[in-house]
Structures are given as structure tokens and as C-alpha cells.
């Protein structure tokens, strides 16, 4: 039981490049979410999903897209990377929307 | 405005020296308060959920308590392996972005326990 996994662990992008951050969970959780963590800002919700085929925006969705084609996977796409998207990104999952969340190890992203 | 403030920002203890971390909150209707532990370079790891004033939960050397304005995370006789950042998050009964109840995260207390 791997829990929540994220790839890559670290990525450097140039401004304007696109990429996908991968997230997978093997706990059959319906609810998955993406956060970013920045110094002095705390964790902020980007997008979330309450089940396969259903996604919604969080507090800071601009510049990011998500999709949920399976229960297990919830990728986060950066459409055109900007330096302001330099951050640590965490994926989390839980059985239901408001239950305890289990976090992945994070992806550290640097946009030059 | 809904807000979560954790103090102190950083705390250094000697092994065995007990202390408390504080999480004070202002929220329009508390649904739950969460404590997480975060090790460097890793994701937050769930510790406790508290739902009502007076509630207490314990796990090994950690004990979390809740009042109407704040929560304390008491660490008894800490060991070096307790060194981490401890995060507090408060969930409102009201909805924020999308159809999610608002979850407001504090900035954390960085705890270092020296042997």
C-alpha cells in the first residue's frame, strides 16, 4: 500500500513551458486535491475532485488545469509556467470530502 | 476574517523538556480543527482532529486540546525524532471555494529537539 505518490520530486521549467505533475493513490479514495505551499502563505487549495469525472476550483486555480479520469489518478497541468508558480505542490486524498487528508511527498517546482 | 495563527514560529527544546504549541483561530463556525506534522521535504502527516471545545486527544508524547478560541499541542518529554513542523488547520461550517467548506491553514511551528 503506497498511499499517495507524486512524480516528479523536483522539476525546473522555463517561463512559458508546460508540464504535468502526476498524483496517484491506491486507497480507493474518492476525494483528491492539489495544494501549493509557499513560505509565509500556508497551504492553499488549487483544485479538487470529489470523484472520477468531477473536478472543481479551489482558492488559487488560475494557470492550472486538472482532470480525473480514474479514481486513482489526479494530474495537475501547468499550461504556461510562470515564475509565480515556483512552489512546492502537494497532492492529497481522503475517503470523503471532509475527512482526514493523506498527503503525498510533494513536487518541488522551480520556474525560471 | 477567518484566520489561523500559530505560535511560536520556532521552538527549540532539550530532550525531555516538555512544552506546548499554540494554534489560535478566528472562524465563522468551527466544524473541526486538525493537527498535522510535516518533516522537511515531505508532505503533512495527520495527527489529530478535534471537533468541540473541551475535547482532548493523545498519541504517544503528544496531546491536543481545544477551546473556543485556540488549540494547544502539548509535547511531553520530547525526543529528537519529534523534531518537525507542526501545522494547524481549521475547517469552517461555511463553504468557501467551490463546494468545499473553508479549510484555513496556519503557517506552522518549527520544533527542534536537541539530544
CB–CB of B104/B2 below 8 Å? Answer: yes
A80-A81-A87 Cα angle (round to 5): 150
Q: What is the pLDDT of residue B109?
A: 98
Share of chain B above pLDDT 90, in %: 81
Pairwise CB contact (< 8 Å): A90 & B44: yes
Supply the pLDDT for residue A27. Answer: 94
**Residues of chain B positioned with their CB less than 8 A from the CB of A58:** 97-98, 100
**Distance between CA atoms of residues B40 and B16, nearest Å:** 22
Look at phi and psi of residue A100 and say left if phi exceeds 0, alpha if psi is from -120 to 50, else beta.
beta
Q: Is the dihedral of CA A22, A28, A30, A36 positive or negative?
A: negative
Q: Is A68 within 8 Å of A56 (Cβ atoms)?
A: no
What are B41-82's pLDDT values in tens digits? 999 999 999 999 999 999 999 999 999 999 999 999 999 999
CB contact under 8 A, A57 and B41: no
Q: Answer whether residue B99 shows pLDDT above 80.
A: no
* CB atoms A58 and B97 under 8 Å: yes
Q: Kindly state the average pLDDT of the residues B80-89.
A: 97
Predicted confidence at residue B79, as pLDDT, reads 97
Handedness of CA A39, A45, A51, A54 (dihedral sign): negative
Q: Is the predicted pLDDT of residue B36 greater than 90, yes or no?
A: yes
Helix H or strand E segment including A19:
strand A19-25
Q: Do B98 and A102 touch (CB under 8 A)?
A: no
* Beta strands B109-114; B10-14: pairing state: parallel
Nearest CA in chain B to A10: B41
Say which residue, B28 or B101, is predicted with more confidence.
Answer: B28
Residue A97 is predicted with a pLDDT of 73
Q: Do B43 and A104 touch (CB under 8 A)?
A: yes
Collect all residues from B whose CB is shorter than 8 A from any CB in A.
4, 31-32, 34, 36, 41-46, 49, 87, 89, 91, 96-101, 103-108
Q: pLDDT in tens for each of the 112 residues of chain A? A: 789 999 999 999 999 999 999 999 999 999 999 999 999 888 999 999 999 999 999 999 999 999 999 999 999 999 999 999 999 999 999 987 777 899 999 999 999 9
Amino acid at each position: 500500500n503506497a498511499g499517495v505518490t507524486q512524480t516528479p520530486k523536483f522539476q525546473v521549467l522555463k517561463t512559458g513551458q508546460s508540464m504535468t505533475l502526476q498524483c496517484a493513490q491506491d486507497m480507493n479514495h474518492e476525494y483528491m486535491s492539489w495544494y501549493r505551499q509557499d513560505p509565509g502563505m500556508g497551504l492553499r487549495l488549487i483544485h479538487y475532485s470529489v470523484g472520477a469525472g468531477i473536478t472543481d476550483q479551489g482558492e488559487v486555480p488560475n494557470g492550472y488545469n486538472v482532470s480525473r479520469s480514474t479514481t486513482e489518478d489526479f494530474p495537475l497541468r501547468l499550461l504556461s509556467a510562470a515564475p509565480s508558480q515556483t512552489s512546492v505542490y502537494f497532492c492529497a486524498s481522503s475517503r470523503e470530502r471532509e475527512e482526514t487528508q493523506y498527503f503525498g511527498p510533494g513536487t518541488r517546482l522551480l520556474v525560471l | 476574517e477567518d484566520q489561523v495563527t500559530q505560535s511560536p514560529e520556532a521552538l527549540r527544546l532539550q530532550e525531555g523538556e516538555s512544552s506546548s504549541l499554540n494554534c489560535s483561530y478566528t472562524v465563522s463556525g468551527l466544524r473541526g480543527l486538525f493537527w498535522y506534522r510535516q518533516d522537511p521535504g515531505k508532505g503533512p502527516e495527520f495527527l489529530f482532529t478535534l471537533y468541540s471545545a473541551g475535547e482532548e486527544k493523545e498519541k504517544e508524547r503528544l496531546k491536543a486540546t481545544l477551546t473556543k478560541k485556540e488549540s494547544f499541542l502539548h509535547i511531553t518529554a520530547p525526543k529528537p525524532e519529534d523534531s518537525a513542523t507542526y501545522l494547524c488547520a481549521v475547517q469552517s461550517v461555511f463553504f468557501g471555494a467551490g463546494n468545499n467548506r473553508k479549510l484555513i491553514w496556519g503557517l506552522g511551528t518549527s520544533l527542534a529537539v536537541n539530544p
